[in-house]
Structure 1
Amino acid sequence: MYQIKGKEKIFVYTGPDGSGRKTIAKMVATAFDMETVISYTTRSPRHYEKNGEDYHFVNEETFNQMESQHEFLESVEIDGIHYGIREQDIIQAFQNHEYVYLTLNPEGTEKLKNMYGDNVVRIFIYADRDTVIKRQHNRQDADDVIERHMTHYDETMNYKNSCEYAYENYDSPQVAYQISELIESFLDRNLEVSDY
């Protein structure tokens, strides 16, 4: 397992599907030189998703092979779909950046938290049920996909109280600004104070 060094931190955005966690994560990352690590998944890409940008889309066989070669730092299965974070990707991200961010479901988030403790900062992004459904419709998710997401909504929302920070996403730029201020406070905490 990769050992986190010095000031390195992993910021994990989690929350219900359609809460806008990816959008906010990208907005915040542009303000700081933050590298993202993209998950591997066995699900098919949605029409607006790009391979290597949203996920690394792989088939079941490739995923199982990677799993058997212990390439994943963590992996989970949800509704028969596999998701995993490749350890090598985390190592590479930390080569040039002290702060790395991920967008994960609560299961994956919890696994990382258990591995790295205080070096993982969980940021829960949420919106009410109707807003989440509307956003998924707006991005033209299939009805069965939305339905599958919504079966996990309450369970996902229960994870909010376990996270270090939670933000209701009613206005993405506003929330991104608040999270940027939060990350700024982590940067400040790392400043060396010296007397002249």
Structure 2
Amino acid sequence: MDKKLLIITGATGSGKTTVSHYLKEAYAIPQVVTHTTRPKRHNEVAGVDYYFETPESMQAKHLIESVTYSGYQYGSSYEALELAWQQSPLISLVVDTQGAKTYLKTFPQEVMVLFLTVSAPDSLVTRLQKRRDSPEAIEKRLASAEFKRDLMVPSELNQHAKVIVNDDWALTKQTLADLIAQLK
């Protein structure tokens, strides 16, 4: 199998991390670990969920893309991508829609974009509350330009993104199974 990269994108709370973890558990598809300067959440593990960086250590990385989101920097590096490809020719990466566009331009032959959405955007608030984000963090995130941008598939991704409406987990898993079968 040639190298393939499943780019998982969509609005915050749409299930990107859940899908990536499921792909790892059900199909042994490693997730590229990305970098962030935001504080670690209660259930996160450094080096597994993110590489938690200082602003200075973030600058030292060979970043493919990066974004500032809700006051924190996020990015993915060439080093982390290569580490994941050493584990498997089929890997996944969670990024925002800007990152998805960058990856599609940088790796046009390797990338498949999965855009996660929900039929009722209000349900995203409930999902953020369930993951125990603070009310202030939720409010800040929902008010951000990036959140509004990531609610829709950007025009640059229209011809390349597989849109998955993640309202029903069983249906989402079946859609993912169908996609993985096409890639293998």
TM-score > 0.5, shorter chain as reference: yes
Aligned to 1:191: none
1:160/1:170 CA distance change after superposition, 3 Å: farther
- Count of residues in correspondence between the two structures: 178
Q: 2:12 and 2:69 mapped to 1: Cα distance? A: 13
Q: 1:173 and 1:52 mapped to 2: Cα distance? A: 29
**Residue number among 87, 91, 96 corresponding to 1:105 in the alignment:** 96
In the alignment, structure 2 segments of 5+ residues that lack a partner are: none
**Residue number among 78, 83, 87 corresponding to 1:87 in the alignment:** 78
Q: Kindly indicate whether residue 179 of structure 2 is the aligned counterpart of residue 182 of structure 1.
A: yes
Q: 1:81 and 1:35 mapped to 2: Cα distance? A: 25
1:134-153 alignment runs, 5 A limit: 134-151=126-143, 152-153=146-147
CA contact (8 A) 2:13 2:125 kept: yes
Structure 1 position 166, deviation (Å): 0.8
CA contact (8 A) 2:65 2:75 kept: yes
Aligned to 1:53: 48
Considering only aligned residues, what root-mean-square deviation do their CA atoms show, in Å? Answer: 1.8
Report the structure, 1 or 2, having the larger helix content.
1
TM-score by length of 2: 0.87
CA contact (8 A) 2:70 2:141 kept: no
Structure 1 position 80, deviation (Å): 3.3
SS for the counterpart of 1:35 is: coil
Aligned to 1:120: 111
Q: 2:167 and 2:80 mapped to 1: Cα distance? A: 32
Counting aligned pairs with the same residue, the percent is 24
TM-score by length of 1: 0.83
